[in-house]
C-alpha cells in the first residue's frame, strides 16, 4: 500500500512538472548567438567605430577631407575586413567615448584608449595592444629647467601644465599638480603648439604620444618615456554583455600584436616597434 501511494504521488509530481511553464533560461543555449555583434556585423556589412580623431599616432581626423588615419584606424579596418564588413566612423570625445559604446552608438571604440577601472564599469576592454604610462613633454630648450623631469621638478609655482579635457591626462594632472598652474586646452590636435609657442610649459600624456610629438616637432623633448610615472595599457572598448564579440576581438587583437601586424602599423607612425 505504501509503495502504491508513493508511486501515485510521484506520477502526480511529474505531471505537474511537465505542465509547469518553462524557465526563462530554458532553451537559451539554442539561441545563444542571438543579438551578438559577431553575427549582426557581417549581416549588415558595417562595423560602427567610435574614435576621437585627435590622438596621433592612434587616431587622426583630417579636417580637409574628413578621413581618419592612425595605428588603431588601421586595426579597425582589418577587424572590419575580418568580419566581411567596412568601418563607419562615429565621432566622439574623451568625455563621452565609453558612454557612446555603452549606449550602442558604436560597436567598438578605438584610438589609444587607456584601460581604467571607471571605464571598465561601463564597457568591456579587449586584450591590450600595448603598455604605456604618463610622462612629460616640454620644450627642449627647457630641459635644464626641469632637471630629471620628476613631479617635484614640474609642480612648481610659475610652471604651466596644459591638459586636454575629459581624459586620463587631465585626471592625472589634477591628482598630482598642486603648485603649478593647470591650463585646459579644448583641442588635443593643437595642444602641443601651445607648448612650442610658450603659452604652456609641460604636458603629461602617454609616453607613446610624447615620442610621436617629439618626432614631428624637433622643438619638443619627451622626458623619460621609457620610465613613465604610471603604468597603463591601451585596448579597444566594447559593449558589455556581448561575450562572443569580445572573445572574437580578443583573438583578433592577440594575433595582430603577436604576428607583427600591430608593430608594423606603429612603426609607420612612430618609427619604433610596439612596446619600446
- At 69, give phi and psi (nearest 5°): -150, 170
Residue 178 zone, left/alpha/beta (φ > 0; ψ -120 to 50; rest) = alpha
- The predicted model gives 80-98 an average pLDDT of 97
Q: Is the pLDDT of residue 248 over 50?
A: yes
The average pLDDT across 41-68 equals 96
Confidence band of 189 (pLDDT split at 50, 70, 90)? confident
- Whether 18 has a pLDDT exceeding 80, the answer reads no
pTM of the model: 0.77
Residue 34: pLDDT band by 50, 70, 90 thresholds? low
Q: Rounded CA gap, 268 and 273, in Å? A: 9
Pick the more confident residue, 48 or 31.
48
Q: What pLDDT shows up at residue 46?
A: 98
Between CA 216 and CA 61 the distance in angstroms is 17
CA distance 105 to 31: 24
Amino acid at each position: 500500500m505504501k509503495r502504491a501511494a508513493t508511486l501515485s504521488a510521484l506520477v502526480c509530481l511529474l505531471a505537474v512538472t511537465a505542465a509547469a511553464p518553462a524557465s526563462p533560461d530554458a532553451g537559451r543555449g539554442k539561441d545563444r548567438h542571438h543579438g551578438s555583434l559577431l553575427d549582426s556585423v557581417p549581416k549588415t556589412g558595417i562595423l560602427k567605430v567610435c574614435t576621437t580623431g585627435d590622438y596621433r599616432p592612434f587616431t587622426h581626423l583630417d579636417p580637409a577631407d574628413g578621413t581618419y588615419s592612425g595605428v588603431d584606424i588601421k586595426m579597425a579596418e582589418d577587424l572590419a575586413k575580418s568580419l566581411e564588413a567596412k568601418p563607419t566612423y562615429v565621432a566622439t570625445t574623451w568625455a563621452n567615448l565609453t558612454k557612446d559604446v555603452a549606449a550602442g552608438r558604436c560597436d567598438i571604440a578605438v584610438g589609444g584608449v587607456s584601460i581604467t577601472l571607471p571605464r571598465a564599469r561601463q564597457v568591456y576592454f579587449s586584450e591590450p595592444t600595448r603598455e604605456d604610462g604618463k610622462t612629460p613633454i616640454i620644450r627642449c630648450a627647457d630641459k635644464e629647467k626641469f632637471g630629471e623631469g620628476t613631479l617635484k621638478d614640474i609642480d612648481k609655482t610659475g610652471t604651466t601644465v596644459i591638459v586636454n579635457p575629459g581624459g586620463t591626462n587631465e585626471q592625472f594632472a589634477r591628482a598630482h599638480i598642486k603648485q603649478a598652474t593647470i591650463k585646459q586646452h579644448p583641442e588635443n590636435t593643437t595642444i602641443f603648439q601651445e607648448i612650442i609657442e610658450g603659452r604652456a610649459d609641460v604636458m603629461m600624456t602617454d609616453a607613446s604620444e610624447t615620442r610621436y610629438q617629439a618626432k614631428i616637432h624637433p622643438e619638443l623633448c619627451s622626458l623619460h618615456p621609457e620610465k613613465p610615472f604610471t603604468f597603463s595599457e591601451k585596448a579597444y572598448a566594447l559593449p558589455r554583455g556581448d561575450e562572443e564579440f569580445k572573445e572574437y576581438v580578443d583573438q583578433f587583437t592577440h594575433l595582430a600584436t603577436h604576428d607583427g601586424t600591430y608593430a608594423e602599423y606603429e612603426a609607420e607612425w612612430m618609427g619604433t616597434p610596439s612596446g619600446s
